[in-house]
Structure 1
Amino acid sequence: MAKSKYEYVKTFESSTTLLPNTFMVVRIDGRGFHKLSAKYRFEKPNDRQALELMNAAATAVMKELPDINCAYGISDEFRQAAVSSYAIVRWKSSALPVFLNFAGLHELEASHINNLYNTTFWALRQKGGMDATQAEERLKGTLASEKNEILFSELKMNYKNEAEMFKKGSIVYRDYDNSSSGFSREASAPAVFNSEKPKLSKTQKEEERDRRVKASMTIENTDIIRDDFWDQRPWLLSGHLDS
């Protein structure tokens, strides 16, 4: 491409250097999902089949790429690696789901806040008889407690009864406790997960990769904002959140 009319694309290239002993998060967000969900009449605000499709796609990617420790998904986004091709294979239709990649860390609390808003918004429309503009105006400036009260008092809904997958999203991770590899929790975290990483021989690297491949894939709908989830699975964060 040098000295060609396409050489200008090099001006769009940029390099990013990762700090040592850090992990990378990739956010995959849905593109055109409004039209897709309308075409196939997804249930609002959450469609269980669509979410399970995304979980299956994320799991397939993790099986294909053993270096990925975990993936977190809610709504039309996943924080992991590209899942479009796997979702398309399982979709089997003319209008295909597409995911875009965004690198960076994002506040997980937003997922919970967004779902509470969406649940209340669609309840006001479906049960409260409001149009979109009216529902948006009703919710403008409201706190989480006020949205819960609207659901309970006005719409006879208890947000606590919503499915955990809708409220908390799905975390897909390599579970060494339940794996077929036979490693216990204490022994399961490969040396590559330790804060002080020794230099591994080629054979050791192959063994570590084999452990990752053999680890079972677990999907949970739980609160990953709290430390408990990560404290019980130290290998997921590679021991870099010691505080």
Structure 2
Amino acid sequence: MANSRFEYVKLFERENFLLPETHIVIRVDGRGFHKLSAKYSFAKPNDLGALELMNRTAQKLMDQMPDISLAYGDSDEYSFLLRKGCGLFERREAKLITTFASTFTAYYQFYWPQYMKQPLEEDRLPTFDARAVVYPSEPTVRDYFAWRQVDCHINNLYNTTFWSLVEGGMTPKEAENELIGTLAADKNEILFQRFGINYNNEPALYKKGTVLIRGPIFEDADGQRDKSKRQQERQEKKMKKRPIVERHIDIIGASFWDGEKEEKKQESKEEVAGEKL
């Protein structure tokens, strides 16, 4: 940029650099999706096409961002975990969240015709915003993703029961009043006794959301620093080539995370063996 007497205005710009050696999670959320889902007649309580569109969009974003090791999504939101040693955009918060939100929005609109029946209209285009949060340790990251999956379960059980009551003849207000103060066991009983629905048999995609993995989930940041530049570049190329695996499983318990740790150990052994060769 050429120097001029107006360049002083740059002094007003401020950057927020996210803390190094922390785990960055970026959560992308749909803006005004309650009205958008009504506009385009999303199926209730779950629209399979809309969920598959979200998953396709998240996978494309992961293709563009090899620093993402894990993603979890349900409804109109997706959370992306970046490698602890991620240096993308020098960890500048504004660049990260605007890039994630705009890229997610672009892919969502691009793939819309492949999954949704109604064409998009200018007066109601789907858009997303994003936020970035840093977490200090692996346990807090695990708790974060457990929190999102618990939220998915609670919302889906409520919505499944609510829309079953509406389809059964109640008005939305009557169904809302019927569910005030009910626990999970009460909602399961309503579904089974009144509508013959065993909630346990509902698709895992609806109950558990979607997990996208391009492991290992947690990297050894100290080990990354000890690697040569050539070794780091080789690992980045390897990450780009790794397939993204889609699962609809429980990530609240320890079994998922323990399994990923074992896979990481095996990969480390193979990497060491490869270096010796």
Q: For 1:95-110, what aligned pairs fall within 5 Å after superposition?
A: 95-104=124-133, 105=144, 107-108=147-148, 109-110=150-151
Rounded Cα–Cα distance in structure 2 between residues aligned with 1:237 and 1:130: 51
Rounded Cα–Cα distance in structure 2 between residues aligned with 1:86 and 1:103: 20
Q: 1:159 to 1:57 in 2, by over 3 A?
A: same
Match of 1:84 in 2: 105
Rounded Cα–Cα distance in structure 1 between residues aligned with 2:48 and 2:212: 16
Q: For 1:202-241, what aligned pairs fall within 5 Å after superposition?
A: 202-234=229-261
For the pair 1:158 / 2:198, whether they are aligned, the reply is yes
Q: 1:121 to 1:23 in 2, by over 3 A?
A: same
Q: For 1:1-243, what aligned pairs fall within 5 Å after superposition?
A: 3-4=8-9, 10=13, 13=14, 15=16, 17-18=18-19, 20=21, 22-80=22-80, 81-82=100-101, 83-92=104-113, 93-94=120-121, 95-104=124-133, 105=144, 107-108=147-148, 109-127=150-168, 129-174=169-214, 189=216, 193-194=219-220, 196-197=222-223, 198-234=225-261
The structure with higher relative contact order (CA 8 Å, sep 6+) is 2
Rounded Cα–Cα distance in structure 1 between residues aligned with 2:221 and 2:259: 16
Of 132-141 and 71-80, the range deviating more from structure 2: 132-141
Deviation at 1:149, TM superposition (A): 0.7
Letter of the 2:246 counterpart: I
Letter of the 2:185 counterpart: S
What secondary structure, in the 3-state scheme, does the structure 2 residue paired with 1:232 have?
A: helix
Q: 1:7 to 1:195 in 2, by over 3 A?
A: closer
Structure 1 residues without counterparts, runs of 5 or longer = 176-188, 239-243
Deviation at 1:18, TM superposition (A): 2.1
Letter of the 1:119 counterpart: T
Rounded Cα–Cα distance in structure 2 between residues aligned with 1:134 and 1:19: 51
Deviation at 1:31, TM superposition (A): 1.0
RMSD between superposed Cα atoms in Å:
2.6
Offset from partner CA, 1:113-141 (integer Å, 9 cap, x none): 111111111111112x1122211111111
Q: 1:47 to 1:236 in 2, by over 3 A?
A: farther
Of 163-172 and 77-86, the range deviating more from structure 2: 77-86
Higher helix share: 2
Q: 1:236 to 1:56 in 2, by over 3 A?
A: farther
